[in-house]
Amino acid sequence: MRKDDIKRNKLPAKIMTGVFIGYLAVFSLGTFLLKDRDFSEMENRPLAQKPKFSADAVMSGEFGSGTEKYMSDQIFLKDSMMSLKTSFDLMSGRTFQNGVYFGSNGYLLQRFDRSSQFDQNMQMICDFADSCSVPVGMILVPNSIEVNADKLPHGAVTDKQLDIKESEKMENYATHFDQFIDPYERLIQLQNDGIQAFYRTDHHWTASAARATLDMWLDECGITGTDAPYEYISGYDFYGTLYSKVPAAGIKPDNFGYYFNPEGVYNIEYVMEGRTADTFVDKDQLDKKDKYGALLGGNFALLHITSNAEGGRKLVVVKDSYANAMLPMLADKFSEIWVADLRYYHTGTISELVADNGADQVLFIHNFDFINEDRNFVWLG
């Protein structure tokens, strides 16, 4: 073979090597030269910062692991690369990624895998209800993957919440409560009526679903439903937590909205934070990616809400984030509400909260996924 032929054969390899080296150089320089980010809007979490160098940190392995996390979090164009990879996976026919199914009509559906924690948590809640000195109600909300099961791709593998809901064991759990609300059929009806019950790109339900479910519980309590002169405020493009897991190009944003009562007068005390607010919506959060976080500004250990509601009723709510869409309307029916999130409220028990504040009722507001995974119900007391 002639020397000029050998040179020509090596040329493609040299070009590919050059492209690869250039790729590494651009991403390395971009990672080190650009200012580190403190928070990822896409992942809705704080990002690892550059670890401090010390002999002890090196010897313990802390510096090495910290550097690995730092490089992973701060890599140049990370969000764009995630979106590009997810888009290619979707185009190649994959319908499941990172725990999420790509459903029809643009729905992203989080897979449900039943665990033994579900029954453990339900038993702890039932034990509390049996021992409580005031009536206890529960609203147990099925997730989007059950209400929108018809939108799952062919061959999807997920445990059915409907099987749990219709089981004999669940029927027994329900007997421990003064009111046990299962909104599955109501949410299906909403969807059939063309009213969106769940966001397509987020794991939460909509304000419309929360209101319809609250009306069910109020009716069981003998209290007139949500009849305030509400205005529905919407028009905010919203990419939720499920989109953050599978950020494929071409997915359309949700339209985030909430109910506002112009006649309501509220004082919301963030007890552990030592501050107050007079509105349920943090409007600064509406300019960020996580629009659902605008409701109350997120999740907190303990809130004390007072309002101009008539009747003088007092309520303790034990909740997860699904309750955040319901609390503004609950406040129009109860003049005082104490709201505890057991993920963060570990300074007392719910029994003490009820007794110390003269509450008339307790209401648990949770979704299936939360009951299936959370390990903080030991704090009920």
Q: Where are the domains of the chain?
A: 3-91, 106-380
Question: Cα(269)–Cα(302) distance, rounded to whole angstroms?
Answer: 8
CA dist list (Å): 48 to 72, 143, 223, 367? 8, 31, 49, 30
Question: Cα(289)–Cα(255) distance, rounded to whole angstroms?
Answer: 12
pLDDT digits (tens, 9 = 90+) for 50-90: 677 787 767 777 777 766 676 566 565 555 556 556 656 66
Question: Cα(287)–Cα(345) distance, rounded to whole angstroms?
Answer: 28
The residue length of the chain stands at: 381
Q: How does DSSP classify residue 288?
A: S
Query: Residue 365: which of 210, 226, 149, 164 has the closest Cα?
Result: 210
**For the chain, which residues score pLDDT lower than 70?**
1-45, 47-48, 50, 57, 66-68, 70-93
- φ, ψ of residue 21 to 5 degrees: the values are -65, -40
* Cα first-last separation, the chain: 85
**Beta bridge partners of residue 139, listed in sequence order:** 181, 365
CA 254 to chain centre: 15
Taking the model in full, what pTM does it have?
Answer: 0.81
pLDDT digits (tens, 9 = 90+) for 193-245: 999 999 999 999 999 999 999 999 999 999 999 999 999 999 999 999 999 99
